Structures are given as C-alpha cells and as structure tokens.
Structure 1
Amino acid sequence: MKILLVHCHYRLPGGEDAVFAAERAMLERHGHEVLVYERSNEEAAHGLPKALLPLHAIWNRAAARDVKRIIQTKNVDAVHIHNTLLLLSPAVVRAAKHTGVPVVQTLHNFRLFCPNGILLRGGQVCEDCPHHGLACAVRHRCYRGSLAQTLVVAAAYGLHRLLGTWRGVTMVALTEFDRRKLLEFNRLHPMFDADRLVVKPNPVCVPDGPVTPRENRKNQMLFAGRLEELKGLRTVLEAWRLLGDTAPTLLVAGEGPLGDWARAQNLPNVRFLGQLSRTELHARMAESRAVVAASLCYESFALVPAEAHALGTPVLASDLGNVGASVQPGVDGLRFTPGDANALAGAVRALGQMSFDCNAIAARARSTYSEEENYNALMRFYTKGTTK
C-alpha cells in the first residue's frame, strides 16, 4: 500500500512525535511506500505566520489543498492523521476524506472534547467541557492560560463538530479506558461515528533479551517522566520521606519545572539521574524492583508502565485513568490512591513482601504491545473502506 501520514509537530518534542516516527518506521519495514506531510508549529513562531496562526488553526486552506493534491497525484491508498493542532487544522481531515480513500486519525489525547487535551484543571481531573460545552474552557483559559489561544482552539473544534468533519473517519483510541471516555463524551456532543472508534495501543519498543529475575534486581525503584505536578512527583517524594531509612533507593529520571524543588528536598534515598536516553531508561527499568507511576491525570497512553511491564518490572500506579487501568493488582503491580503519599508508602512496603513472575509480566506486555499486533491493526483500519 501507499500510505500518507499527516502530522503537525508541537514546538517542544513529545510523545506524539515519537509514535508518528515509530509507526512510520514500522510501515516502511513492512514494505509499504510511506509519504509524509508534516509541519511544525515552530514555523508560526514569529512575524506574519504567527499573526495568521489563529486563522490557520481553525481552517488552513493551503494545508488542506496540499493533502488533497498528494492523495490524488500520488495515488495514495490510505491516510493516517496524527496531530493537526495548531498549524494544520482539522480542515486536512475533511480534505482527505473527500478524496474517498480510507482515513484514520489517532486520538493521542482528549482534544476533541477538551481544548487542553488532558481533562485537567487546577491540578484536578476536570470534565466540564465534555459535559457542558467548550465555553467552559474559554471561561477558565484552559489552553496555556490564555483567553485568546483557548478561544481559537475551542472555535476550531466547535466549528468542525458542527461540520461533521470526523464523520466517516476511523478514530483510534489508545486504550480501552480512552474508548469508554470518548464514547461517553460523544453521546453528549457527537463528533464521530461511534462504530468507527477502535482501540490500538501505541507500539512499545524495549530490548528483546531475557528478563532479569526479581531476586537479581537491585533494591531500587524508578520514577520516570517530566518533573511536574501532574506526574505526581510531590506525592512520590513525600512517600519516600515517610518511608525514611526503610525506603529502597528511588531513581528519578527526567527534568522539568519541579526539578530544582525536588533536589532541594535532600532526601537520602533519592538519586536524580536527569534526562536519560530510552536505552538508558530501559536499562534502569530492567534492574529495578518496580516503577512508580503517580500521575494525577487520566493520561492518554501510559508509556512508562507499558515499557516497565514489557521488561518484566511491576508498577506502583495511582488508581486513576490509564495509569491505574494498566495495572492488575497482585499480578503486575499495585495501585494506590492518587495524590496520597501514605497510600503510596504502604504500597511500597506491601510490594516488598510480594513475589511477582517477571517473565509472565513481560510475556503479556510484549504480546499486547508487539509490533506485529500494531501492524495488523493498522492494516485492518487502512482497508476499512472509503469515507465519502
């Protein structure tokens, strides 16, 4: 097949960029001809492009024309869209589906119903926009704390909701939790065809080698992610303060706005590793007794827990959203109350008294997130039929 991938990069690289690149490489490894139409919001950082960005975010005629031309002149068989915010706009979705080829869009977040994409406001889960309308986001300035920018994003999704832009498009949720939430929201404010919402996890790539047995692992646990409020770092460090000298070593991998604060706590059993490469991170996961995922929001795809499980490492997860849903208590980890340091400390103690089959954890995860499963799912979506 000849496949067109469409993606708009944010100004700071993120997980969506990594998935876009990984799926592109996977398709090429399987012999497909992959065409790419990609732009970056960095293009609109200054001058006239910046002034025009609000209009382009709502309807970028040039981008829509480009996508349509590529499909028609290159005889594209299927189109897979990742991110359209801000520069591309949902107009590229309309342009693609009007050519009649199958169109797939991955929903990397909840942006269809929530302008900030993560259903979070003031450090708490918030579902006001899905239930009461996008005006809630405008009132609270939910996109980057800006009234003007929130208004633009809300206008873009509000307009394309009315136009039925996503009707006839195969929409890909990353988890079953996301699917249930999206269907719930879609019943209140229809955006897409419910029977076209499917589930496909992101590919998870870890070394294929043997799994380190639990008894050979170091007395350490790993926190990996951006050092910020919504990842629950304060909860984790408070739990280690409560554990005191009995705590296993906590490795903290990543950087972010809470980095200076976290280091200033001077906790004796906590080591800061900074930003690690994926290879280095996987090595730390594989030698640790557990990974701590303390997120305070739903998240869209819990990559760190998925990678940990693929390496046979149990996960201590806050019982919320996709992070909590990724763990089967007693089988591949434990859950604790989100934001509750005492509960996390208790989970650390409990895990120390339990035994886990690391090989079984890895086998289940590698099967679920394997490249072959991902590839076969994409092929089903790409041949689903025309969208006219």
Structure 2
Amino acid sequence: MKILLIHCHYRLPGGEDAVFAAERALLERHGHTVVVYERSNEEAAHGLAKLLLPLRAVWNFAAAREVRALIAREKPDAIHIHNTLLLLSPAVVRAAKQSGVPVVQSLHNFRLFCPNGILLRECAVCEDCPHKGLSCALRHHCYRGSLLQTAVVAAAYGLHRRLGTWRGVTVVALTDFDRRKLLEYNRMCPTFDAERLVVKPNPVCVEPRPILPWHQRKNQCLFAGRLEELKGLPTVLEAWQQLGDTAPDLLVAGEGPLGEWAKSHAGPKVRFLGQLSPAELHRHMAESKAVVAASLCYESFALVPAEAHLLGTPVLASDLGNVGASVQPGIDGLRFAPGDAHALAGAVEALHTAAFDCDAIAAAARRTYSEEENYRALLRLYTKEAP
C-alpha cells in the first residue's frame, strides 16, 4: 500500500512525534510506500510567520492546498493524520477527506473537546469544557496560561466542530478509557461519527530480555517520569516517609521542576538516577518488584505501565484514567486512591505477601503492545471502509 502520513511537530519533541516516527518506520519495514507531509511549529516561531500563526491555526489555506496537491500527485491508498496543532490546522483534515481516500486520525489527547488537551486545571481533573463549553477554557486561560493562545485553539476546534470536519473520518482512541470518555463527550457535542471511533494503542518499544521471576527481583520499586506534581511525585515521597525502615528501595528516574525539592524531601531509601536512556530505564524496571505510576491526571496513554508490563513488572497505579485502567488488581499490579500517600503505602506493603506471575504479565502485554499487533491494527484501519 501507499500511505500518506500527515503530522505537525511541536517545538519541543513529545510523545506524538515519537509515535509518528515509530509507525512510519513500522510501515516502511513491512514494505509499504510511505509519503509524508510534515511541518513544525518551529517554522512559526519568529517574524511574520508568528504574527500569522493565529489565523493559520484556525484555517491554513496553504497547507490544505499542498495536501490536496500531494494527494493528487501521489494517489495514496490511505491517509493517516496525527497532529495538526498549531500550524497545519484542521483544514488539512477537510482537504484529505475531500479526496475520497480513506482518512484516519489518531487522537493523541482530548483536544477535540478541551483546548489544553489533557482535561486538567491546577493539577486536578477538569471536564468543564466538554460539559459546559469552550468558554470555560477562555475564563481560565487553559492553553499555556494565555488568553490569546487559548482563544486561538478554542476558535479552531469550535469552528471545525460546527463544520463537521471530523465526520466521515475514522478516529482512533489510544485506549478503552479514552474511547469511553470521547463517546461521552461526543454525545453532548457531536463532533465525529461514533461508529467510526476505534481503539488502537500506541506501539511500545522494549528490547526483548529474559523475564525475571518474582522471587529473584530486587527489593526495590521504580518511579519513572517527569519530576512534577502532576505525576504524583509528592505522593510517592510521602508514602515512602510513612513506610520508614520497612520500605523497599525507591529508584526515581527522570528530571523536572520538582527535582531539587524532591531531593530535599526524600528519605534514606530513595535514590535519584536522573534522566536515563531507554535501555538503562528498562533494566531497572526488569529488576524491580514494581513500578509506581502515581499520576493525578487521566494521561493520554499510560506508557510507563505498558513498558513495565512488557518486562513482566507489576504496576502500583493511581486509580485514575489510563494509568488505573492499565492495571488488573492482583494480576499485573495494584491500585490506590490518587493523591493518597497512605493508600500507596498500603499497596507497597502488600507487595511483601504478593507473588505475581511475571511471565504471564509480559505475555499479556505483548498481545496488546507488540510491533506485529500494532502493524495488523494499522492495516485494519487502512483497508476497511468503516469500523
């Protein structure tokens, strides 16, 4: 097949950029011809382009024209759109749809209904925009703390929702939790065709390695992620303080705004590793009794729990959003109330009497996240007329 991939890179590389690159490489390895239309928001960082960005974010006529010309020239069998914010605008979705070629768009966040994309305000879950309208985002300056930038994003998605831009497009949710939330919001503000919403997880890359049995693992837990309140780091450190001498070692991997604060509030059982390479991170995951995922938001995709499960490692997860939904208590981890250090401490103590089947955890994760399963899911998206 010939696949056209469309993507707008953020100025700072993020998870969506990584998924775009991974799926492009996956298709190419399987012998497909991949045509790419990609731009970067860095192009609009200065001068006249920066002044025009608010208009282009709502409707980029030039990008839509270029996409139409590319489709006419290359004649792809399917079109897969990832990110259009800010520079491309949803106008490229309309241009792709008008070509008559099957169009897929991955929803890497909740931006169709929430300008900041993550349903979060002041480190707490917020669903005001889906329930009450986009004016809520304007009132709270939800996108980057700016009224102007929030107004631009709200205008773009508000206009294209009314125009039915995503009608007739196969939209992809990353998880079952995301699917349920998107359907809930879509019933209140019809934006896409509910029957065209499908679930396909992101590809998760972990180098194959032997799975350590539960009884051979080190008496340690791992926290991996950006060191910030949103990821629940204060909750984790407080739980380890409550556990005292009975706590397993806690390895903290990552960097972030709470780094110095965390080091000054950590007990003797906590060790900070800094930013690790994927290989180093996965080695520590594979040796640990559990990975701690204490997020205070829904998360768009629970990457760290998925990586841990592929290595056969149980996850102690806050019972919220995709992090909580990624865990089956007693089978591949335990859940605790989000933001509740006492509940997390109890989950850590429960590890003393647990006996997880690490091989079974890894086998189940491979069925969901493996490269081959991801490839088969992509082909199903590109070849079927409608879900």
Normalised-by-shorter TM-score class: over 0.9
Match of 2:160 in 1: 160
Under a length normalisation based on structure 2, what TM-score does the superposition of the two structures give? 0.98
- CA contact under 8 A between 1:115 and 1:137: conserved in structure 2? yes
1-structure distance, mates of 2:312, 2:87 = 40
Match of 1:83 in 2: 83
Report the CA distance between 1:121 and its aligned residue: 0.7
Match of 2:44 in 1: 44
2-structure distance, mates of 1:312, 1:283 = 12
- CA contact under 8 A between 2:65 and 2:95: conserved in structure 1? yes
1-structure distance, mates of 2:339, 2:24 = 37
Report the CA distance between 1:133 and its aligned residue: 0.7
Residues 321-347 of structure 1, C-alpha deviations (whole Å, 9 max, x = no match): 000000000000000000000100110
Report the CA distance between 1:65 and its aligned residue: 1.1
2-structure distance, mates of 1:386, 1:51 = 40
2-structure distance, mates of 1:25, 1:323 = 27
Report the CA distance between 1:276 and its aligned residue: 1.1
Match of 1:284 in 2: 284
Alignment of 1:136-147 (within 5 A): 136-147=136-147
Residues 148-193 of structure 1, C-alpha deviations (whole Å, 9 max, x = no match): 0000000000000011000000000000010000000000001100
Report the CA distance between 1:307 and its aligned residue: 0.6
Q: Once superposed, what is the RMSD of the aligned Cα atoms?
A: 1.1
- Aligned pair count reads 387
- CA contact under 8 A between 1:218 and 1:288: conserved in structure 2? yes
Residues 48-80 of structure 1, C-alpha deviations (whole Å, 9 max, x = no match): 111111011101111111111111101111110
- CA contact under 8 A between 1:70 and 1:76: conserved in structure 2? no
2-structure distance, mates of 1:187, 1:84 = 24
Residue aligned with 1:361, SS: helix
Match of 1:34 in 2: 34
Match of 1:193 in 2: 193
Match of 2:251 in 1: 251
Match of 1:101 in 2: 101
- CA contact under 8 A between 1:131 and 1:188: conserved in structure 2? yes
2-structure distance, mates of 1:324, 1:266 = 25
2-structure distance, mates of 1:220, 1:246 = 11
Match of 1:213 in 2: 213
Match of 1:268 in 2: 268
Residue aligned with 2:334, SS: strand
Residue aligned with 2:183, SS: helix
Match of 2:316 in 1: 316
1-structure distance, mates of 2:247, 2:386 = 57
State the identity as a percent. 79
- CA contact under 8 A between 1:247 and 1:269: conserved in structure 2? yes
Report the CA distance between 1:315 and its aligned residue: 0.1
Q: Which amino acid is 1:136 matched to?
A: C
2-structure distance, mates of 1:190, 1:286 = 44
Q: List runs of 5+ in structure 2 lacking aligned partners.
A: none
Residue aligned with 2:165, SS: coil
Report the CA distance between 1:266 and its aligned residue: 4.0
Residue aligned with 1:344, SS: helix
Q: Which amino acid is 1:6 matched to?
A: I
Report the CA distance between 1:209 and its aligned residue: 2.5
2-structure distance, mates of 1:51, 1:234 = 40
1-structure distance, mates of 2:211, 2:63 = 46
Residues 295-340 of structure 1, C-alpha deviations (whole Å, 9 max, x = no match): 0000111010001001000000000000000000000000000000
1-structure distance, mates of 2:369, 2:320 = 21
Match of 2:300 in 1: 300
Residue aligned with 1:222, SS: strand
Q: Which amino acid is 2:167 matched to?
A: R
Residue aligned with 2:349, SS: helix
Residues 107-162 of structure 1, C-alpha deviations (whole Å, 9 max, x = no match): 00000000000111111111100011111101111001110000000000000001
Structure 1 residue runs of 4+, over 6 Å off?
Answer: none
Q: Which amino acid is 2:218 matched to?
A: K
2-structure distance, mates of 1:307, 1:191 = 33
Q: Which amino acid is 1:30 matched to?
A: H
Q: Is residue 203 of structure 1 aligned with residue 194 of structure 2? A: no
Higher mean Cα deviation, 167-176 or 377-386?
377-386
Q: Decide whether aligned partners of structure 1 residues 157 and 212 sit closer, same or farther in structure 2, where only a CA change above 3 A counts.
A: same
Match of 2:333 in 1: 333
Match of 1:70 in 2: 70
1-structure distance, mates of 2:242, 2:358 = 28
- CA contact under 8 A between 1:179 and 1:198: conserved in structure 2? yes
Report the CA distance between 1:386 and its aligned residue: 8.7
Q: List runs of 5+ in structure 1 lacking aligned partners.
A: none
Q: Which amino acid is 2:361 matched to?
A: I
